[in-house]
Amino acid sequence: MPSARTARRRRSRRVTPLALLAGGLAAGLVAGGTSCAAVQGGVMIGLARPGGPRAAVPAFIAGRLVAHTALGALLGMLGAAVRIPPPARAALLVAAGAGMIVFALRLVRSRGPACSGAAPAEDGTPACAAPHPGRAERPEVPGTTTGRTTRITALTDRWRRITAVTRRWRRITTLTGRWRAMGPVAMGAGTVLIPCGVTLSTELVAVSAGWLGGAAVMAGFVAGTSPAFALLGLVLRRIAATRLVTFAAVAAVAAGSLTVLAGLRLGGWLPDLGDPSKATAAGVRLAPDGTQVVTIWSTGHGFLPGVAGIEAGRPAEIVFRTRDNQGCTRTLTIQGRDIALPVTGERVVRLAPQEPGRLRYVCGMGMYVGFININQPTLPAHAAATPAPDLR
C-alpha cells in the first residue's frame, strides 16, 4: 500500500495545476485585462471592419487561449529556452504598432462617405460612389443612338464580368470562408508574440511549473483577460458602423504610434535626447564586502529614482522594491535579462564591475525607462553606509 507521504505527493500533483489555473485567472482579472488590452487590444482594430463575421471576437479570444496555453506547456517543458528575447519582442512591438496604424486607416476607408448607409442602386453600385472619370454619363438625346450604344456596351461588360466571376466563384467562396473563419483566430494567436508586462510575469511562473502547470497558469491568465478583450471587441465593432469610426481610427493610430515607440524603447533603438543630469553615488551604500547597493522603487508610474548612479570598477547590487504594484513595471529588462518582481517585496540584481558609461533598463512593455550612470570612482574604500529611501 502507498505510504502517507506518497499519497500527499499525489494529491499535491493534482491540486497544483488547479491552484495555478486559479492564480492565473486572478492575475488576468485583476491586472492582466487592462495591461494586455493596452498592448494587444489594438490588433483587434482589424476585426472591426463593416460586414465582418459576427464570431470574429470569440474567434480572436479562442486563438489567444490556444496559443498561450500551448506556450505555457512549452515553457513548462523546455524552460526559458523558448522565451522570446527582448530585441525580438521589441521588433514585434514595432511591427504590431505599424499594423494597428494600417488597420485603422483601412477602417476609415472601408467606412466610406457619410451616406454609406443609403441603399445601393439597382445595379449594385453604392449610392454615394463617385462616377469613374472616364465613364461620365451623358444625357441621352432623342433621335440618336448614343443612349442605345451605351446600354449595349454596359450590358456586354457586365456579362463578361459575370462570366469571369462564375468560373471562379466556388474557389473564391471557399477561400473567403476559410479566411473569415481563421483570420480572427490567427490574429488572436499572434498576440502570443506581443506579451505585456503581466504576461511576462505569468510566463516566468510557467517556466518552473511543468508542462501541465504552465499550460494551466497561462490558460487561466487568458481566461481572466478575456472579458476585457470581449468588451473592447464589441465596442470597436459598434463604432465601426457609425460616424465615430474616424475618432476610433485616430485613437488607434495614436495607440499604434505609442506601441512603436515602446518597441523602440525596449530595443534600445532610441537615442538619449538631451543630456540628463548626472546622478552621483551619494545615495549608494556600501556592503561590508565593498559591494555598492542601490535601491530603486518600481511603481505603477515608473521607476524612482529614474536616474541613479554607481561607481565604475566595483561590483554593485540593484535592489528593485515594489509595494502593491500590479503594473507593467513588475517585469523589467536589464542587460538583456527579464526580471520579474513580486507584487510587494524586492528583487536583487547583481552587477559585475562595470566600465564608465550608462546602464539602461526598461519595463516589460517598453513604456518606462530608467538609467544607472556609471561614474568614475569617487567613493573611499570604506564609505559610511547611507540609509536607502523608504516609501513604505
Give yes or no for residue 274 having a pLDDT over 70: no
pLDDT band of residue 204 (cuts 50, 70, 90) is confident
Output the pLDDT for position 248. 82
- The confidence band for 70, taking pLDDT boundaries of 50, 70 and 90, is very high
Q: Show the cell assigned to 218.
A: 497561462
Average pLDDT, integer, range 300-310: 90
Mean pLDDT over each residue of the chain, to the nearest integer: 78
Other CB atoms closer than 10 Å to residue 83's CB: what's the count? 20
- In total, the chain counts a number of residues equal to 392
What confidence score (pLDDT) does residue 374 get?
92
Lowest mean pLDDT among 23-37, 219-233, 341-355: 23-37
Cell numbers at residue 388, please? 536607502
Structural domains of the chain in order of their starting residue, each with its CATH number: 9-112+172-267 (no CATH), 285-375 (2.60.40.420)
* pLDDT for position 13: 45
Lowest-confidence region among 136-150, 291-305, 330-344, 373-387: 136-150
pTM equals 0.71
* Residue predicted with more confidence, 223 or 390: 223
The answer to whether 241 and 50 have CB atoms below 8 angstroms apart is yes
- Predicted confidence band at 180 (pLDDT cuts at 50, 70, 90)? low
For 79, the enclosing helix (H) or strand (E) is none
Residue pair 225/28 in contact by the 8 Å Cβ criterion = yes
* pLDDT given at position 162: 72
158 versus 301: the higher-pLDDT residue is: 301
Residues 6+ apart with CB under 8 A from 116: 126, 128
Range of 64-78, 193-207, 265-279 with top mean pLDDT? 64-78
* Side chain identity, residue 111: R
Nearest Cα neighbor of 223 from 72, 20, 59, 29 is 29
pLDDT exceeds 70 at position 264: yes
* pLDDT score, position 279: 62
Write out the three cell numbers for 4: 502517507
